[in-house]
Amino acid sequence: MAIINRTSDSFFSGNRHADLDSAKRALDDHVAAGADIVDIGGVRAGQEGEQVSPGQEIDRVIPFVEHARQAYPDLVLSLDTWRSEVAREAGAHGLDLVNDTWAGHDPALVEVAAEIGAGVVVSHTGGLPPRTDPVKVTYGADPLDVVRDVIRTLADGAARAVAAGIPAERVLIDPTLDFGKTTAHSLEVLRHTADLAGLGYPILQALSRKDFVGESLGLEADERLEGTLAATAVAAWLGATVFRAHDVRATRRVVDMVAVIRGDRPPVRAVRGT
């Protein structure tokens, strides 16, 4: 899942595409690098940066959704939004997936996803509202309490999505590392990716250049690629199937290599020593 941010203030400077032509070039690059899904965002996730109204968000994302659908009819198009009115507008232009990063803050969002025939990403933010950075977040004395909370929240959210009319196979679950979590929480949840598989839904991991990687290695966003890829390999081995990434080519290669090691796909060629 390639990320294209229609913003000028993304936390990662390499993914700022406020200019539509820049976004279009990024789309072509990501598809060529192996993206199966493109996730479009019109608002920075964190509390820093400019305030964006629903109308402004629509103005940012809809022209790009229109272009992407026309340019790549078979590409899965995802919209990173917590606003039902933005998702409804995008649905008129061929949206396939609603990435509800803020865990049902707008309760109508899952109903709109069902209405427009889109799938949905169910997330976990520890109950925080949109664009809120975690401060002194706790889940209990046991380190596994955060894992239990993530599993419970994702199970409930997925059940609501299915009850709203979204087929179970179009419901993805995302433990949403960094959101409502300390670095210790995110690392604990990542270690237990396999436990999420028991819920029976495809697991999305959004790991790319996040703060838990930066704090683990003492690195700023522009230097977090290797740490991200290490986390990606671990998550893939433990059963995650969709990876939201800024660095598509590198992520594609890591995921494919893990699949070969696991025996889920054959090598492209195997002629050494034969």
Look up residue 270 and give its two tokens.
């195997």
- pTM tops 0.85: yes
Q: What is the pLDDT of residue 137?
A: 92
CB 129 within 8 A of CB 102: yes
Q: What is the pLDDT of residue 234?
A: 98
Q: What does the alpha-carbon distance between residue 194 and residue 241 come to, in Å, rounded to a whole number?
A: 11
Residue type, 221: A
Q: What is the pLDDT of residue 175?
A: 98
Q: What is the pLDDT of residue 240?
A: 97
Domain ranges of the chain: 2-262
Which one is the CATH code of 2-262: 3.30.230.70, 3.20.20.20, 3.30.420.40, 1.10.510.10?
Answer: 3.20.20.20
Catalytically active residues, by annotation: 210, 244
Residues of the chain with pLDDT under 50: none
Taking only the tens place, the pLDDT of each residue in 65-86 is 999 999 999 999 999 999 999 9
Q: What is the pLDDT of residue 257?
A: 98
Indicate the DSSP class of residue 203: B
Instruction: Cite the DSSP H helix spans in the chain.
Output: 20-33, 54-71, 84-91, 109-115, 145-163, 183-191, 193-197, 211-217, 225-237, 248-262
Taking only the tens place, the pLDDT of each residue in 100-151 is 999 999 999 999 999 999 999 999 999 999 999 899 999 999 999 999 999 9
Residue 252 Cα distances to 5, 204, 247, angstroms: 19, 14, 9
Q: What is the pLDDT of residue 103?
A: 94
Q: What is the pLDDT of residue 48?
A: 78
